[in-house]
Chains A and B, each alone.
Chain A
Amino acid sequence: MTRSLRGGQAGYFFVAGYVVLLVAFGIVPTAYAFYLAFTNDRGQFTGLNQFVKVIGDYRFAPAFAHVAVYLVLWLVLLLILTVGIAVVLRGRMRPGLSATLRFLYYVPGALAGVASVLVWLFMLDPSVSPASGLLRALGFDTFSQVIAPENLPLVFVLIAFWTGAGGWIVVMYGALNNIPDEILEAARIDGAGPWKSALFVQIPMISRWIAYMAILAFAGGTQLFVEPQMLQTASLGRLDPAWSPNQLAYVLAFRYGDFNGAAAVSLILLVLGLLCAGLLVRRSGLFKVDA
């Protein structure tokens, strides 16, 4: 009795630091955004009018369309490639080589977002890129051709995958490690080859980790900001300043002084993220505690 109580108190102590930061930088700003989104700059209650206003804005639909294309490309690529690579690294490779590759995949993730965008600014400029031969072979002679509007979702997927996928490969590898060897052995005895064990044993058993990755990747993807913003500056304005919804919120707040409209855009993003997370949590049983 005493022991379990003491354990509980220590638990509170350990989460306290996180809770304080969560309240200060997560919950309070969200509450403030709620207040702003339902009022105007004179503090009067506006109901849903802010939402009606921003949804009717001429930049709203294109910004969400841009990010939708980006998200589809990014999520499909991320789910298939990270899980696929992790399965190969886990089962079909010598341990030493596998560890080296995991480390290499992870390295770009150690760069901060802005730094990785800078790397890609050079990589994608045919006049300075180490891969300029490849870019030219694909028909790109100048940087402005590479960042043509129709290529942008792909450019951002490249950057996101390069920085983000390595970390997830390591996580998926760890998840695969949790599967007891006896289960894989039993599958093998029952006649399952590598393909069948991956599809019917390994992947279903790590589906919660995959759902967790999908939730975070979706939320991160809808909030795309640094990459287009940096590219906008570096290309001297060749990108729409409100390319992504988060940039639209930024433009509304800081160029038009419309903090209320900006808050409405962020709440829409929050709701989208929550809906996706709720759906995935329900479908995958992510929060179900194992008996």
Chain B
Amino acid sequence: MKQRLILTATLAALAALAGCASADSTAAPTGPASFTPAPQNDAATVTVWTDSTRLASVQAYQKSHPDKKLNIVTYDGSADGSTYLQTKVQLFDRTGSGWPDVVFASPTDVTWASAPTGPNAQAFAAPLNQGLVPQPTLDNFAKGSLSPCEFNGQVYCLRNDIAQVVAWYNAKLFKDFGYAVPKTWQEYQALGAKVAKEHPGYLLGAVGDTNSHESYFWSSQCPAFSLTGPTTLRTDLQDPNCTRMATLLDSMIANGSVSKEAFFGQNFAQARGSKVLMAIGPSWHGQYLFNAAFKTPAGQIGAATPLAWDGDPTVATGNVGGAVWMVSSHSANLKTSTDLVSWLTTSDENQAGAPTYPAYAPAAKAWLANPKNSQYFASDVSPAFQAAASAVWPGWSNTRFSDATAWSSVVLPAVTAGKTLTATLPAWQTAIENEAKAAGYTIAAR
């Protein structure tokens, strides 16, 4: 009797299973997203989420536009792979209210914000080219700088700044030691061996930051995050462009001229900040790393053009961050919201004094002409900045998952434990592929 009951129950369960729907989430539509604006009210309060660095800019807008009502909120700005904004928007999409009107975010955020998060949601980011921002304005952004904003022919954000990687150096130390600033990666490596012998303890770089791979592997044109189609990712860390950088860094980590620690790690500035001879890093390293964190006195730091590879004619460089502003498609005041993001990204009034290098080309000229942005440095940084801005390698794609997660949680702990980068490449590859598959990408053959 009991056995028959169990049998019946099992059969019933199997029958129920056979008619079950798939557990996969609804795939994001690939066509142009429909965009139905909320009822508009030009006097409505605009809620702005900004990071603390750009808070002053938003406050300046409020000051020069006293008639606009703003509600300014600071948050982590999606830095270092934070998913705070995405988490909140997922919840707002479920409750149907609460979205901020304007957000400062990372390029990674645009990948999910440009598509609906669920079957009943509308994509969070408003397509700005749909009558909100005039085309000539969009055309004035630096070449390629809006590509993280573009999906299905629409523009979902305005780029605030570009973070092209250059070769930073301490001109005073180079002079004291009698060294020449390297022009190629081979010279960089040779200098590392020399420094290790003649001035041990001095550093030519560090790999422990959440974004060090963008400074090094992106500059080396390593196909780690290469989208070959909208949903197809190719990642091949055994490509010679990846292994050459891994080998180079391994030798420099081994002789101590490149640190395994993070420039922005706790206590690094205090302990070793004054011993940084060189740093391969983004344009914002000048003010943020050397001036603010290391407190290197003015007149010592210079920027050189990105390093080249002997025998490789293409000069390419990486990009570390370079944030964007998005307008919510749910905003009840698209007019003020759009005006705000346009002012923030394109006006000389804001951008000439901005903390980072503007993506809007006319504003970048004003930025370079601003003595405040040049007087800290030992020499004019414009040639290096401009050369690097147009040399950012386009083969490192903006994916739906942060490129920092696998680097920070898989590669860096292994390097800390004493493994070489070369030996860690397979584990990094697996981690990227796993993340990509979970985010809905198919993996292309290497």
A and B co-occur in one complex:
yes
Instruction: Pick the residue among B26, B90, B408 that contacts A236 (CB under 8 A).
Output: B408
Contacts known (A57-B438, A143-B266); A40 close to B408, Cβ less than 8 A: no
Question: Do A148 and B416 touch across chains, with their CB atoms under 8 A apart?
Answer: yes
Which stretch of A199-207, A216-224, A250-258, A273-281 is in the interface?
A250-258
Contacts known (A144-B208, A144-B412, A256-B439); A49 close to B22, Cβ less than 8 A: yes
Among B17, B24, B117, B267, the one with the most A-chain Cβ atoms within 10 Å of its Cβ is B24
Which stretch of A100-108, A160-168, A169-177, A237-245 is in the interface?
A237-245
Residue in chain B with minimal CB distance to A48 = B17
When chains A and B are docked, how far (Å) is the Cα of A168 from the Cα of B26? Answer: 47
Q: B20 on the interface (CB 8 Å rule)?
A: yes
Contacts known (A127-B266, A254-B90, A255-B86); A241 close to B409, Cβ less than 8 A: yes
Question: Do B413 and A149 touch across chains, with their CB atoms under 8 A apart?
Answer: yes
Q: A128 on the interface (CB 8 Å rule)?
A: yes
Interface flags, A207-249, vs B, CB<8A=1, else 0: 0000000000000000000000000010011111100000000
Q: A145 on the interface (CB 8 Å rule)?
A: yes
Among B17, B210, B409, the one with the most A-chain Cβ atoms within 10 Å of its Cβ is B409
Q: B147 on the interface (CB 8 Å rule)?
A: no
Question: Do B24 and A238 touch across chains, with their CB atoms under 8 A apart?
Answer: no
Question: Do A128 and B266 touch across chains, with their CB atoms under 8 A apart?
Answer: yes
Q: A9 on the interface (CB 8 Å rule)?
A: no
Contact partners of A257 in chain B: CB under 8 A:
25, 90, 93, 117-118
When chains A and B are docked, how far (Å) is the Cα of A143 from the Cα of B410? Answer: 16
When chains A and B are docked, how far (Å) is the Cα of A149 from the Cα of B413? Answer: 7
Instruction: Pick the residue among B25, B413, B434 that contacts A58 (CB under 8 A).
Output: B434
Contact partners of B93 in chain A: CB under 8 A:
257
Instruction: Pick the residue among A53, A237, A261 that contacts B409 (CB under 8 A).
Output: A237
Question: Do A127 and B271 touch across chains, with their CB atoms under 8 A apart?
Answer: yes
Contact partners of B21 in chain A: CB under 8 A:
39-40, 42, 44-46, 49
Contacts known (A42-B119, A48-B17, A148-B417); A241 close to B405, Cβ less than 8 A: yes
**Considering the complex, which residues of chain B in the window 397-446 have a beta carbon less than 8 Å from any beta carbon of chain A?**
404-405, 408-410, 412-413, 416-417, 434, 437-439
Question: Do B22 and A40 touch across chains, with their CB atoms under 8 A apart?
Answer: yes
Interface flags, B227-259, vs A, CB<8A=1, else 0: 000000000000000000000000000000000
When chains A and B are docked, how far (Å) is the Cα of A260 from the Cα of B26? Answer: 12
Question: Do B438 and A256 touch across chains, with their CB atoms under 8 A apart?
Answer: yes
Q: A52 on the interface (CB 8 Å rule)?
A: yes
Q: B187 on the interface (CB 8 Å rule)?
A: no
Contacts known (A128-B266, A237-B81, A237-B404); A45 close to B416, Cβ less than 8 A: no
Residue in chain B with minimal CB distance to A251 = B83
When chains A and B are docked, how far (Å) is the Cα of A145 from the Cα of B271? Answer: 17
Question: Do A46 and B267 touch across chains, with their CB atoms under 8 A apart?
Answer: no
When chains A and B are docked, how far (Å) is the Cα of A142 from the Cα of B439? Answer: 33
Interface flags, B64-90, vs A, CB<8A=1, else 0: 000000000000000011110011001
When chains A and B are docked, how far (Å) is the Cα of A182 from the Cα of B405? Answer: 62
Contacts known (A41-B25, A52-B23, A53-B23); A47 close to B438, Cβ less than 8 A: no
Instruction: Pick the residue among B17, B19, B118 that contacts A41 (CB under 8 A).
Output: B118
Question: Do B416 and A142 touch across chains, with their CB atoms under 8 A apart?
Answer: yes
Residue in chain B with minimal CB distance to A58 = B434
**Considering the complex, which residues of chain A in the window 111-160 have a beta carbon less than 8 Å from any beta carbon of chain B?**
125, 127-128, 142-145, 147-149
Least distance between B213 CB and chain A CB atoms (Å):
12
Q: A50 on the interface (CB 8 Å rule)?
A: yes
Instruction: Pick the residue among A49, A58, A253 that contacts B23 (CB under 8 A).
Output: A49
Question: Do A41 and B26 touch across chains, with their CB atoms under 8 A apart?
Answer: yes
Contact partners of B25 in chain A: CB under 8 A:
40-41, 256-258, 260-261
Known contacts A42-B26, A49-B17, A236-B262; can you find 15 more A-B pairs with CB under 8 A?
A40-B24, A41-B25, A41-B118, A42-B21, A49-B20, A59-B434, A127-B271, A143-B265, A145-B417, A236-B80, A236-B209, A257-B90, A257-B118, A259-B94, A260-B25
Chain A: residues with CB nearer than 8 A to chain B? 39-42, 44-50, 52-53, 57-59, 125, 127-128, 142-145, 147-149, 233, 236-241, 253-261
Q: Nearest 7 pairs between A and B by C-beta?
A: A237-B408, A44-B21, A47-B20, A49-B23, A254-B87, A127-B267, A47-B17
